Amino acid sequence: MAQMWIAGEWQDSASGETYDIINPANGEKVDNAPKGNADDARRAIAAAEAALGAMAASSAEQRGLWLEKMVELVRERKQELAETLTKEQGKPIGEANTEMEHFLHGLHFYAGLASKYRGSYVPLPAKDTYGIVMKQPIGVCAGIVPWNFPITLMGTKIGPAIAAGNSIVVKPASSTPLTALKVCALLSEAGVPKGAINCISGPGGVVGEELVQNPKVRRVAFTGESATGRHIGEVCGRMLKRVTLELGGSDPMIVCDDANVEEAAKWGTIGRYYNNGQACLAVKRVFVFDSVYEEFLDKLAARVKRYKPADPLNPKTWMGPMHSRAQRDEIGEQVEDALARGAKAVVGGQKLEGAEYARGNWFAPALLTDVPDDARIVKEESFGPALPVFRVRDLDEALEKANASDYGLGSSIWTRNLGNAYKAAERIEAGNVWVNSLHYGYDEMPFGGVKASGIGREHGPEALDYYLEPKGVVLNVG
């Protein structure tokens, strides 16, 4: 049975209660996880608080070395961890390995940055008086993580939090705690003070809520749904806590008449169907110029037809089950809603329920055309393998439609014309624009959203600033 990782030790929940973690591929139990409650969250927060002194006393260089050591320790167990990830999340083993690599790359990035951030020296108008802007750790951080990328999205919080000298309590999604718990225990072997990294499992509304409401937590890093993020933002606003909110998306992809259509179809397919479409920055709406529409659609359809949902532990599998029944039903309802409003299914678009798929959460990838603008799949975030493709006249129409969304996370434009690329980059309402490339969150680049997609940034040196408090110090040396 899994245990929580608190104060450098494996611990059961205060209540002794557990719950089952279910394999999305076959409905079987993978393991039990401790059903944490507010007492457990408080215990983890106390452990993180107790570690602050030792964290503050550590040198920035030391913290960088700890992070490097963490990379080494996790890499040694990568395959085993990836298998646990596949069993609890449902993603194909190849994708689970890629997720582990992305996590390690992120930690390595912050290991390098730990001793390289800078404050500043400020000349002041008063005689013999100088200013220094120090940057200090904020204190106890909470990292609240969703189920779609449980490990990389934990790393985007642990990396900068530790590099900056904070301690952290991680709360994975209740359905995907197993890999995260193992990884946090391994990270702690790198030599960080006991309690610097804690990981607790249990319901978001109980354990996560305590992390957000507890005054000892000074910084909340949340990734998840926009509705949950709004609530967390309200609480943090009231309590004047530092908060970043990485929320949902409905990323547009624009394919111009001068695009490399083959490449656009290839990366558009991966952009939408990777992780079974359960990605915040998945391509969720495609706008194609009239003159290349048929060619693009044919190429896209041919690629989508190659996906055959199958056993995610088989290394040859590209697409596994969806993470949960609820998730499968929701994308199914969004597709049905679009079809009922006159859309056409060029490929697939139904739940897979034959004998082969009797257990688990299976869905046939879908490609839709003629989807009206008021369909749910256009207006809401769609978190599954279904993609609507729209025909547009020109870039102005594409940009207008791309921006007609509550969300603003990622976006892309496919064109050989630098003017088009620049115009789109300037006018798209999104935190990220990719030109002729896959929607991918590079560790080196700031990543985050505008509008309902959130506030603040993860990744890059920019994210480190969200874990540091600037302090103005005025020195009179006269």
107, 163, 467 from 113: Cα distances, Å: 10, 7, 13
- C-beta closer to ligand NAD: residue 146 or 268: 146
What are the beta bridge partners of residue 454? 246
92, 208, 348, 460: which one contacts ligand NAD (CB under 6 A)?
208
Output the smallest distance, CB 204 to ligand NAD, in A: 2
How many helices (H) and strands (E) in the chain? Answer: 16, 22
> How far is the first Cα of the chain from the last one, in angstroms, to the nearest whole number?
65
Question: Is residue 247 at the binding interface for ligand NAD, with CB under 6 A as the rule?
Answer: yes
Q: Which stretch binds ligand NAD (CB under 6 A): 31-39, 241-249, 286-294, 386-394?
A: 241-249
CA angle, 426 then 427 then 429, to 5°: 110
Q: Are 238 and 260 in contact (CB under 8 A)?
A: no
Judge whether 280 counts as a catalytic residue. Answer: yes
Q: Which stretch binds ligand NAD (CB under 6 A): 220-228, 290-298, 336-344, 396-404?
A: 220-228
Q: Which stretch binds ligand NAD (CB under 6 A): 9-17, 73-81, 245-253, 398-406?
A: 245-253
78, 105, 216, 231: which one contacts ligand NAD (CB under 6 A)?
231
- Measured in degrees and rounded to the nearest 5, phi and psi for residue 73 equal -65, -40
Site for ligand NAD in 374-393 (CB under 6 A): 381, 383
- C-beta closer to ligand NAD: residue 225 or 465: 225
Which of 95, 99, 209, 246 does the annotation list as catalytic?
A: 246
- C-beta closer to ligand NAD: residue 193 or 456: 456
Q: Which stretch binds ligand NAD (CB under 6 A): 53-61, 168-176, 184-192, 465-473?
A: 168-176
Question: Is residue 274 at the binding interface for ligand NAD, with CB under 6 A as the rule?
Answer: no
Question: Is residue 408 at the binding interface for ligand NAD, with CB under 6 A as the rule?
Answer: no
CA 159 to CA 332: how far, in whole Å? 37
Place of tokens 């997720």: 99
- C-beta closer to ligand NAD: residue 214 or 228: 228
143, 248, 360, 365: which one contacts ligand NAD (CB under 6 A)?
248
Residue 76, amino acid: E
Output the smallest distance, CB 176 to ligand NAD, in A: 8
- C-beta closer to ligand NAD: residue 201 or 415: 201
123's enclosing H/E stretch is strand 120-123
Which of 280, 330, 381, 458 does the annotation list as catalytic?
A: 280
- Closest Cα partner for 327 from 279, 389, 274, 388? 279
Handedness of CA 30, 31, 32, 34 (dihedral sign): negative
27, 53, 205, 470: which one contacts ligand NAD (CB under 6 A)?
205
Site for ligand NAD in 135-164 (CB under 6 A): 144-149, 153
Judge whether 246 counts as a catalytic residue. Answer: yes
Output the smallest distance, CB 54 to ligand NAD, in A: 27
CA 21 to CA 25: how far, in whole Å? 12
For the residues of 281-320, what is the DSSP string, one character each? Answer: TSEEEEEEEHHHHHHHHHHHHHHHTT-----TTSTT-S--
CA 137 to CA 351: how far, in whole Å? 48
Question: Is residue 212 at the binding interface for ligand NAD, with CB under 6 A as the rule?
Answer: yes
- Closest Cα partner for 232 from 158, 223, 35, 137? 223
Positions marked active-site: 246, 280
Interface residue list for ligand NAD (CB under 6 A): 144-149, 153, 171-174, 204-205, 208-209, 212, 223-225, 228, 231-232, 246-249, 280, 381, 383, 409, 449, 454
